[in-house]
Each structure stands twice: as structure tokens, then as C-alpha cells.
A and B are shown apart, each in its own frame.
Chain A
Amino acid sequence: MSSLYERIGGEAAVDEAVDIFYRKVLADDRVNDYFDGVDMEQQINKQKGFLTMVFGGPNNYTGKDMREGHKHLVARGLNDSHVDAIVELLGATLQELGVAAEDIQEVANIANSVRDDVLNK
């Protein structure tokens, strides 16, 4: 039984998904304010890390990293509705890439598993 990360397509899938996903994020008025003035290339690297994690790939992110990394955004009002939007855009990206529905659900589950850390709950 292959892992979720392998089924989605591993590193190549991350590379393919990242531009599509980031484009959706920047185009979405619900969340794009939080990405204003951010260095786009640095952000792409962070997005790759995020996608690798939610695809079930190799990563060493900890709950503490998630809390530290989003603290300043929580102070600016980041809440559940924004996480919902990101999970939705993630799903739309994977759908575009032809990923199976049950795998998309599994990705959403992983994304939701870090929700409390991201929102510093």
C-alpha cells in the first residue's frame, strides 16, 4: 500500500501544485491581505513546505513552529474562516491536478490537524 505522498506524486507534485495553489491564494480576497508585501519567492518555499506536510511527505514541522510562524497573523485577526478558505483552495488545486477525492479528503484532514496550532488555540 503506497503512502498518500507517493499516491499524489511526491516532490514533483509539490512543485506542480505550489504555483497553482499560491496563485489561488493571492487571487482570493478572503485571505490575500495576509500575503501582502511578503517576498514571493520566500513565500513559495514556505508553501512548498506546507504542501509537503499536508501531502504526508517528509517534514519536521512541530506544533511550536506552527504557532511561532503564524503568531503575527493571529494578532492581525487570522481565524477559522481563513483556515477554511486555505483548505478549500488546497482542495481546488488538487482537483485541478486530478488527485482522487479520497486523497484530497486525507490532505484536508492533515491540514485541519494543525489548525489549532496555526490559530494559537
Chain B
Amino acid sequence: MSGHKVMTHIIFEGKQIELEEGQSVLSVLLDNNYEIPNSCQAGVCQSCMMQAVEGEIPAAAQAGLKDTLRAQGYFLACSCQPTSPLRVMAANDMDLQSPATVVGHTLLSDDVLRLRLKPQSDFVYRAGQFINIWKTAKLARSYSLASVAQLDDFLELHIRRIPSGELSSWLHDEIKIGDELKIQSASGDCFYVPGDVEQKLLLAGTGTGLAPLIGIVRDAIAQGHKGEIHLIHGVRRHQDLYLHQTLLDMAEKYSQLRYYSNVLEADNDSQQKTNRPLEQQILDIAVEPAQWKAYLCGDAAIVNTLKKTLFMSGMAMGSIYSDPFLISAAADTDV
């Protein structure tokens, strides 16, 4: 294509690659024999999504992307025609490990551990995203962040002990304060994005799906959110409400916050009655779903049911943020 004017360049995998006028990031990378996933090449299918870590992203390259993805610098390579230098990386090329020291190790219930870590270098994240913890070079599990970067000087994770779960047992039984763990940069698009401070928010989580949600709630309030925030913690047994008092106290302190517990199995010891199903409860709260945003975290089957329930009742798919916890084949899990 000689004769075309070189406009600017991108930096990818440490190499500077020159762009001609009107050329997209996708086309120049494909021309240079990089394998970049792509399909429609029209800014629609999102399979060519990449991340910019330095430089200015043209607005057209982020059209149609969810706000949480835009905030992290994700863009569509096929629609990206930069006019100034841009450093880009593959969307999944985030696997930089960094060390962190254990500064807190406390049981919140009979099977949920609160682990607090202090990263040894700057660690950028948003409350509600997840990080990987590595036990060995081949074994890692994802855990959601309950801490808020602006408020806490540690990372907080809630780790449920999984029967025969290799990583959760290790974190519960062997790891102690002062130990060093290898963690991986935060990812995920389930977090609070400042915008409409009056927006009504519905947050529903099961089990340790509460971890990202409490992070999102604290983040939203710290960023001045004024609209109603309704938080539901769904659990199997009453004793699984591992932050019950903390959440009651928070709801007392912040008038915009309402907290609901939803216990699946009634037990004889407590006065707790069986609650109505979560999918019914969320519709009772979010009466006009189209006016709400929702955050759903925890058990994958329940999260997907709740997502479908809200969508079919009129909530926009773009207003639903979810993090379904997947159980790995090795019986360990990030729940």
C-alpha cells in the first residue's frame, strides 16, 4: 500500500506498528500476521475487543460497549482508527502476576474466610472485580474484591471453604498472616460506574457473591450515590448470613441503603421463616425494572435465572451486571 500517508502508530507486544490513514487497528494487526479474533468487522459482534493501556481511544471504537468496559479502556479493534499513538493489548493478555502479603485472616462464619492482602506494588482495581490467586504455576482460582480502593489500604476477599477444594482449603488451613501470595490483576465488568447519582440499584447475591456486592455498595456510597440501593443476600442456612450485623448497621447509617436477607432453608433453632424465592423478591423490589440497574453475583444457575427474570420483566440487558461464579472441574470454585 505504498503511497499512503503514515498517520500514526500503535504499540503492540512491544513493537511499534505504523498505521496508514483510515486504517483500523484490526486490519494493521492482521496485515502484520498477528492472530486477532474477529468476525463481523463492522463494530457489532465485539469479538475483536482489545484494551488500550496508553493513548486516546477514538469514540467510534467504543460505540456499543458497556460503560464498565469503556471505563477500562476496552475498544473494538475493527472500528478503531487512531489519530495519535496508542498502546494496545489483547483483551485477555492481563496475566501479570504480582506478590501480595497476607495482612488479615479471619473466619466470618463456619465456612467463610475473610482474607486481607496488601499488594507489594500499585494495584489498580474497582470494587466488585475479581482477581486470581495462584497456588502453583498451574492452579489458580478467582475471588471477588469486597474492598474499595479509595477507602481501604488492603484487598479483601471472602473465601468459602469448598469440600475437597484445593485452593480454598489451602487458604483456610495453611495460609497465615505474613505469608506472600501471587495474585493477578483485577478483571471483570461488574462494578459501579459513576453517572446518574439518583439511579435505583438492585444488588442480589448468593453465598460469597455478597463480597463483590458489598464492595460495589461501599464504592457507590463513597462516590456520592444518592438513589435507592437495595441489597439482597441469599443463603441456604441462617448461619450463612456472614455479614448480617455489618449490613444492618450500614443500612442504619446510610438512608439510601436497604438490606434484605433471604434464607432458603428454614431451621428450627431460629425464628427465621423461609423467604419467598429470590426471583420473586427482586421483582417485588424493582417494581418498574426498566428504571433500575442490577448487579447479580454468586451461584451461576441462580444468577442466570435472576438475569433472565429481570430482562424479561423489562430491564435493559445493558443495565444488568453479573458475575456468575463457575465451579471448576477440579471441584474447587470461586464461590
Chain A contact residues, CB within 8 Å of chain B: 11, 15, 18-19, 22-23, 26-27, 40-41, 44-46, 48-49, 52, 57-61, 65
Contact = CB atoms under 8 A, between A and B. Distances in A.
A26 B312 contact: yes
A27 B312 contact: yes
Contacts of A40: 304, 307-308, 311, 317
B311 A19 contact: yes
Nearest to B324: A39
Interface residues of B, number: 17
B185 interface: no
B44 interface: yes
A19 B311 CA distance: 8
B199 interface: no
Contacts of A49: 39-40, 42, 44-45
B107 to A, nearest CB: 35
Contacts of B41: 60
Contact of B64 (A19, A22, A48, A57): A48
Contacts of A52: 40, 42, 44
Given A40-B307, A40-B311, A11 B64 contact: yes
A58 B228 CA distance: 40
Contact of B40 (A15, A18, A59): A59
B93 to A, nearest CB: 20
A65 B308 CA distance: 28
B46 interface: yes
A65 to B, nearest CB: 7
Nearest to B47: A45
A19 B317 contact: yes
B102 interface: no
A4 to B, nearest CB: 16
Contacts of A11: 63-64
Contacts of A23: 311-312
Given A19-B317, A44-B317, A49-B42, 19 more contacts: A11-B63, A15-B64, A19-B316, A22-B317, A26-B308, A40-B308, A40-B317, A45-B44, A48-B44, A48-B45, A48-B64, A49-B44, A52-B40, A52-B42, A52-B44, A59-B40, A60-B40, A60-B41, A60-B42
Q: Is chain B's interface secondary structure helix, strand, loop, or mixed overall? A: loop
Contacts of B312: 23, 26-27
19 contacts: A11-B63, A18-B317, A22-B311, A22-B317, A26-B308, A27-B312, A40-B311, A40-B317, A44-B317, A45-B44, A46-B45, A49-B39, A49-B42, A49-B44, A52-B44, A57-B42, A59-B40, A60-B42, A65-B39
A91 to B, nearest CB: 20
Interface string B40-59: 11111110000000000000
Contact of A45 (B42, B46, B307): B46
A58 B317 contact: no
Contacts of A65: 39
B42 A58 contact: yes
A18 B44 CA distance: 12
A44 B322 CA distance: 15
Contacts of A44: 317
A98 to B, nearest CB: 18
Contacts of B316: 19
Contacts of A26: 308, 311-312
A52 B41 CA distance: 12
Nearest to B321: A41
A22 B318 CA distance: 13
A20 B312 CA distance: 9
Given A11-B63, A40-B304, A59 B42 contact: yes
Contacts of B308: 26, 40
Nearest to B314: A23
Contacts of B39: 49, 65
A68 to B, nearest CB: 11
